[in-house]
Structure 1
Amino acid sequence: MSLNNQRIKWLILIIPTLTIGLWEYVRHAFLLPYISMDLGNFLAPFIVLTVTLTLVRSLFIKLEHSHEALELEKSTSAALEERESLARELHDGISQSLFLLAVKLDQLDGLTEEGPVRQLSEGLRETVRVMNDDVRQAIANLRLPPSPEAAAWVVPLRELLGETAAVTEAKAQFTWTISDKSLTDKEKVELHACLREVLMNVRKHAKASHVYVIGESDDQGGFRCAVEDNGIGFTGNPLQSPGRFGLRMVKDRATRMGWSFSIERKGDRTVVEWIKQGGQAQ
């Protein structure tokens, strides 16, 4: 990438010089009988400006994109290094301490006869085992590349689904593959608000035993986001039902963002979804 940037920088420096040199050659070799010296001198800066606004400007844009990609790569690399460092600290600190505690509990078992102390020791050993499994899982997760579901702004969405499932005693499933960097800050805010309102509607009215939140991206920069539940559904147009202001607000938000919005019954599920077409700018 650095070699490509060097070429772009050299082209940005050379193109204006080559342009004025080529203009002077053509003017003296072919156009001198038709264009006076004063007119030629007058046209020269405009010709250089035209070339700069076309070729050189496009090179500047490529250089900016290259710098942005490089900064993103550096940021990702730094984040991965930080995650690896944290994983090492967990392994060398907490994980080793838990192992040592398990050894001490084994020694305590050898010195203790059956009774309350032995039972307490066995309970502590089980707690240590569970904690050790959790720490090992955390270390493994830290050493994996971050997934779309782990993005900071996505975590509250998963927690919101969990709260909805807890209140309604429903089973929840969260599937999210929309890349964090594919969304603008405004899109994240609007998606969060829409999902929150729809999940609140499920909590109040659906009486569902299963609730799903789905976020899927496409290859053109668009996405499909949906909340599905197997609740009691609706009759008529829910957007026209009295008291359903929340759904109308969600539809208005989606419309303002240029997303399509729909709510319909598909089989035994109520599906609320909004879609951004690929290539659609925000």
Structure 2
Amino acid sequence: MYYKQIKWMILFIPTFTVAIWEYVRHQFLLPYISMDLGNWLTPVLVYVVSITLLTQLFRILEKIQKELEIERSEKAALEAREQLARELHDGIAQSLFLLSVKAEKLEKVRNENEHEQNILSIRKTIHEVNRYVRQAITNLRLDRDVSQSSTPISSTLVEQVHVMAKDVRTQINIHWELKDHQLDEKEKVELLACIREALINMNKYASATAASISAIGMSHSWKVTVKDNGKGFDGDPFAKKGKFGLRIMKERCNEMGWIMNMYREDRETIVEIHKGALT
């Protein structure tokens, strides 16, 4: 029996019961049952039908709902495993293979300048592997938090940003106006990765006491800003040796056609990522 059929039966059985009873009572039972007694028997009859038939239908309905919840949770777990496997393959496994190739190449290099470049390239690959691992752990933690929530709904962008903010020592104020439907799936993934990298850098180097994340705009033009009151930086942060995270973040933005800026203003470090021109 289907879910919709059960709902319609629950709605119509009491109605049809009363209709049939009233017809039979007025057509055949009036000589035997008085009007007052018939009026008293009507709710009793409805109660008996509800106890015998409707309770069984409610049990079937509850059973169907429980089966749907179990199926939904199993599907969510399967999707989480598939996502983790995809991240491990696309990110970590390929980077580790590349790392082994670079290490073998490094053993054969004799030129000192080329040797240093290879070391920097290996360090960059190690940083990427570290970032992939952090991203996979964050996704697993988000899946766990959502699955334990009393309302099992799919995680939104702002929910994922809140989860990332919990891993940072600094108190972060979040003001998020950007809607999920205004970005496609690739934009969501890349934007979250950039925000995560900005928070990691803030947590490791800034020693900030307060920070904020804001997002405004719509699908064709938006801006995401990460601010903190930390100690900041001198010079061009993307040109500093060993700052692979920032360079990778800028490369992500360039590949997506976004503009990324990082600067100091009013004793605050500001990371801006924007698409298009906000009017």
The TM-score by the shorter chain falls in which range? 0.3 to 0.5
TM-score, reference length from structure 2? 0.43
- Please give the TM-score of this superposition, normalised by the length of structure 1: 0.43
